[in-house]
Structure 1
Amino acid sequence: MTDKCTLTTAEIEVAVITDYIAQQSLEAEHQFVFSYTITISNHSQETVQLLSRYWLITDANGDTNVVTGEGVVGQQPFIRSNESFTYTSGCLLKSPLGNMQGHYQMQSSNGQLIQVDIPVFRLAKPNILN
């Protein structure tokens, strides 16, 4: 089961698709593994570079984890006007339900710094909400 959401900030669209990875999860040990694939589409007239990321990860127990760092998946990609960059990463939760939210720090080719919001997205084991 996948879940998808999008959000646009300053003509930069962030689309997220999530998935539960059952074969890597160990439910008896409270380890629930999720993947998320993010596509960043640049609808502006300027080239932008993704400099850093900020994540706030919350599980169903109310536990939070903040993740910050340069770039994504070891890259600080340049995204030209009307082009996109896609990457996949993962998250380990102690519960079968949680969410992630955050933002990217980007810089346009004219030197302007832009905070691009990432939509809040749910991480959920299939049928957990039924």
Structure 2
Amino acid sequence: MITKISSGIQISVETFYQPEYSNPFTNEYMFAYRITIDNLNAFPVKLLRRHWFIYDCNCERREVEGEGVVGVQPIVLPGHQYQYVSGCNFKSEMGKMSGHYTMLNLDTQTNFTVNIPVFEMIAPAKLN
């Protein structure tokens, strides 16, 4: 698990290779990732936007941004956490992602940025 604290928000990431959705013969590799967002601040926050940088080992680079995560803009109270699972596909056995969230401090109504740590996704066969 990869963990990083940024602006009083702890982001933890776990990754999982999805062999049932992958086909190495056609260079299709699917991964899932679970993100846990812990609010270490004394104020409630709302996750407004996500911005991802996705790097495939074959040198392909993608950028994805949009509102919320998995269709919601969760509110995380002080001392609480929010967790979600999403996925990413690659054309090679390895890739990585990083990015940031735009969050709203619900007490002051000001936006702030929370950095997401770089995390790698590697097909188990590549580790041998």
Alignment of 1:53-92 (within 5 A): 53-92=50-89
Separation in 2, partners of 1:76, 1:108 = 13
TM-score normalised to the size of structure 2?
Answer: 0.97
105, 122, 125: which one aligns with 1:124: 122
1:101 paired to 2:98: yes
SS of residue paired to 2:127: coil
Please name the residue that 2:3 is paired with: 6
Q: For residue 10 of structure 1, report the CA deviation from its aligned partner.
A: 1.2
Cα deviations by residue, 1:34-93 (Å, 9 ceiling, x for unpaired): 000000000100100000000010011110111100000000000000000000000000
Unaligned runs of 5+ in 2: none
The verdict on how the C-alpha distance between 1:57 and 1:73 changes in structure 2, with shifts beyond 3 A counting, is same
**Cα RMSD over matched residues?**
0.8
Please name the residue that 2:36 is paired with: 39
TM-score normalised to the size of structure 1?
Answer: 0.95
Unaligned runs of 5+ in 1: none
Please name the residue that 2:112 is paired with: 114
Separation in 1, partners of 2:126, 2:115 = 27
**Number of equivalences:** 127
Q: For residue 127 of structure 1, report the CA deviation from its aligned partner.
A: 4.2
1:28 paired to 2:45: no
16, 33, 55: which one aligns with 2:13: 16
SS of residue paired to 1:128: helix
Q: For residue 129 of structure 1, report the CA deviation from its aligned partner.
A: 3.5
Moved over 2 A (4+): none
**Letter of the 1:44 counterpart:** N
**Letter of the 1:124 counterpart:** I
